[in-house]
Each structure stands twice: as structure tokens, then as C-alpha cells.
Structure 1
């Protein structure tokens, strides 16, 4: 059997999700696919749920570069990462079976905290004060000081992630065809001592961003990668770059990034 017919399905573990997962497995196996219990031997990974489930699926399967990801929405609502709907599984099966399957590539950002192992984000990395007061970050671009930030925190988002937390903080929506990532402020304070740009800014994929946390008693910030909190405690430096890795998803006709944005927000 061709490897492209091997599928791993990621879902939540509640009773309703598992019931729907079994239905999807039945639909796939009836068309000649093999569903697997582990993702390592699959080259198609399907998330069943929402955009949040898709983000978890990508993270839990280690941001695989040698497979294709597809998202199935169980709510029927339009979303950024879920191209298919649970109530119309036949469309998904037919498209995945197509011999000339086209793919869409979504960029990742790579984040390194002090000496810890680097990790990846498909949506965004966020860093926030963990107590009810502001904290201070030195913002470095290509190792050169850019600004000293005082406020609640910062978000570094990918182009696809620009429609999520970043957008809610008035950051720009960025075309994923651009090789870049965005930095957005969370409640910055500007005064005679601290001065920031006061708006989000976009960095080329050729640039690096370093955040240096001032060790002033607020050096245990809350950090999150996509929709998961990070267990790292004391933090001094955070280094962020656009990764060479990309997540591959199904490319559907008449379903470009901007068509999705239009359906979701306009």
C-alpha cells in the first residue's frame, strides 16, 4: 500500500470527539486508507475539532516536515486551519486521494529561551508579566538594541498567527507568502524613561529578535507557544527567528488565505 494512504487522526479524548473520530476512520478505511495509532508512520495527519485542535495536533506530532496536515472542523464554522467539515467528509477523501495533490505551506517561528532546546510555533509566541505590574524587556534586532519596553508583554506571531492574538491587539494581518514575522505590544507604557515604537512591526525572515528580561523581581514571566503554556521558570533571554521549517496543508481551490480571512472577519 502506498505510504500516502497512511493516516493518523488527532482529536480530543471526550466521548463525542472519539465517536466522531471513529466515523472519520470508517470513512477513510472504506476508501482504502489505513488509519494508524501513531503518527510516526503516517504521512497524512488529520486534526478533528477546531483551529486549537489543529495547533495541538501539529505540536503533539513534532511539527512533521515529511507529511501533510489537514483539519476537520466539527462545529461547521469557518476557520483558518480547518479546510474541511465533519458533515462533508466525502470532499476531504476525494481531495486527499487526488494524485496531483497540491499543498499550502505555513511558516513557523523558532524560539530559544536561554539555554533550553529550541521550540516552534505555528501561530505565536507570547511573553507576559506574571504578576499584577509591568515588566521591562530590552528589544534587540540583529543583536542591536532597538527599544526598552515597559508594559504587560509582547507577542511574536507568524503570518497565519497574525489573525489570532496579534489581531486582537490591533496588529496587522500578514500574507503568509511573505517571509516574515510580527512583533506586537501588550499595553506598553511610554514616559520620559521608557519609549517604544507604540505599534506592531514586521521583521524580515532574515532578521533575529532577542528579548532580554530585566532581572528586577519580575523575571518569571508567563510564556505560551500557540495555545499551550510553557513550563520554563526563570528567564533572562528569549531569541526568536523565522524557521526554515514549514507546515504543509491541503491546498483547496477557492480557499486561499485571504478568502479565509474574508469569511472569518468580513
Structure 2
């Protein structure tokens, strides 16, 4: 971090947050870091909150590849994206003054809706029925029809996002060193008449996924990019692929992805 000295702090407006920020400002200045008012002038972006705040920090600052992201938890424990805790300043000081950190690279998914609107996701993209009716989509892998899905919706998750929404629908936890996308079904309809794969599946980062929404009155789906709703109404086609854009984060040498998984779930 010796060549990165400009820090931007991202925090939600909550009661008591300013006092915590003041402590971080003092700590950063003590070790000769420059606190900047705009994320555009930063080469370190620090979120203060939880994983949701970290996701918002990355999105609100434009998924920058030329800076390093770090997460500071204000909750009871550390989380998947937060390597530091607000009350453990000693670990922050150690990271600032020694070589005990590495750079972890997280893949992102690029999603395009109706060949017009494109955006990135660090955790997942989700698409769900907007009404109480079975959602029907034709699923294509590299332009070849794979299945006709009927159910509540689908999730496209990155490896790091595999521990979030994807895991809650019984998707697998995937090592982030594997460049891939996991597709998980939400309440798929399987009977003698209709059939889907009925389980999550993982495709290579070289694949391209396409969803074509059947226009049967249920073509106004609810869509989410990470923890934010997407305000697009009528939808006919969604394309997704693993992006070349990666997010660089702080990685402590004793805090690997699988150590985080163990801490969070076991």
C-alpha cells in the first residue's frame, strides 16, 4: 500500500457513524494517508458497514479497476467482503505498516438487457416474476437452446456471490479462483409436462448466457444487480457473461476465501 496514499471513505448515513469515521480519519492521517472528498481522486476506497455497504461502495464508485477496495465491518463479526473490524485498529495499523496484505481479485458479471442497458455485478444478477404467475424463459448457452425454464426466476452468481443469494436457493459455494458463472433456479416447475434441469449448474467464464423471456403477460420481471433493484420495465432478452473487469480488494495473509466461508457458515 506504500504507493497508494489517497483514501476515500464510503459509509451510509447512520446514527453514530460520524464518530467512527472521525476515528478512521485520525488513524489514516497518522500514517500519512490523504483523505479525499471524491472517489475519483482515490486509489484506495474503504467501505464502512457490512457486505451490503461494500457492494454499494463498489457500484457507486464505478467498479474501478485502478484502485484497491477494502471493507471495514461495523457489525458483530467480520463478513465475506470485510477483512477489518471497526474496533480492531491494530489489524488496520499492521496492514498499513507491514507487508501482511495481498491483493485479491474478484470477477464480475456483465449483464445486458435488450441490447441496450449494460451493467456489472459483483455478487449476482437475479430475475424474478413480477406477478403471481409462473415465469417462463428460454435459456441459451452460446446461442444454443438449453432448456425452457418455468418457475419463480433465476440467479446468475459470481464465485464470490455464490455464498450470498445463490447459497440461499441451495446453490454451490464456488472457489473465486475459478472464472465461471453459476446459474441457480428459484422454485422451478418440474412435472410430467414441464421439465428443467432442477439444479444449479456452472459454466465457464468463456460462455455466454442468454435468457429470452416468453411474452405472455409476465414480461415485466423484477431484476436485481447485487443488492440494488433495476428499474427496467418490459424485458425481452437478458445476456450475461463473465466480464474482463475485476475488483481488487485487500487480502490479509491469514484470511483466505475458504477461511471466510468457514467463519461465516461453520
Task: List per-residue Cα deviations over 1:30-80 (Å, max 9, x = no partner).
Answer: 211111111011100000000110000000000000000000001131210
Any unmatched runs of 5+ in structure 1? none
Structure 1 equivalent of residue 248 of structure 2: 248
CA contact (8 A) 2:64 2:247 kept: yes
Structure 2 equivalent of residue 110 of structure 1: 110
Any unmatched runs of 5+ in structure 2? none
Structure 2 equivalent of residue 96 of structure 1: 96
SS for the counterpart of 1:94 is: helix
**Aligned Cα RMSD in Å?**
1.4
Q: Does 1:211 align with 2:182?
A: no
TM-score normalised by L of structure 1: 0.96
> C-alpha displacement at 1:116, in angstroms?
2.3
Task: List per-residue Cα deviations over 1:204-227 (Å, max 9, x = no partner).
Answer: 001010000011101000000000
SS for the counterpart of 1:4 is: coil
Aligned 1:78-97 pairs, distance under 5 A: 78-97=78-97
> C-alpha displacement at 1:82, in angstroms?
0.1
C-alpha distance in 2 between matches for 1:199 and 1:217: 26
Structure 2 equivalent of residue 231 of structure 1: 231
> C-alpha displacement at 1:192, in angstroms?
3.9
Task: List per-residue Cα deviations over 1:199-258 (Å, max 9, x = no partner).
Answer: 000000010100000111010000000000001111000000001111111111121100
Q: Does 1:183 align with 2:216?
A: no
TM-score normalised by L of structure 2: 0.96
C-alpha distance in 1 between matches for 2:67 and 2:103: 10
C-alpha distance in 2 between matches for 1:146 and 1:102: 40
> C-alpha displacement at 1:3, in angstroms?
5.8
Task: List per-residue Cα deviations over 1:147-206 (Å, max 9, x = no partner).
Answer: 000000000000000001100100000000001010000000023443110000000001
C-alpha distance in 1 between matches for 2:211 and 2:96: 42
- Shift of the 260–101 alpha-carbon distance from structure 1 to 2, 3 Å rule, reads closer
SS for the counterpart of 2:264 is: helix
Aligned 1:22-37 pairs, distance under 5 A: 22-37=22-37
CA contact (8 A) 2:157 2:182 kept: yes
Aligned 1:34-113 pairs, distance under 5 A: 34-98=34-98, 101-113=101-113
CA contact (8 A) 2:138 2:148 kept: yes
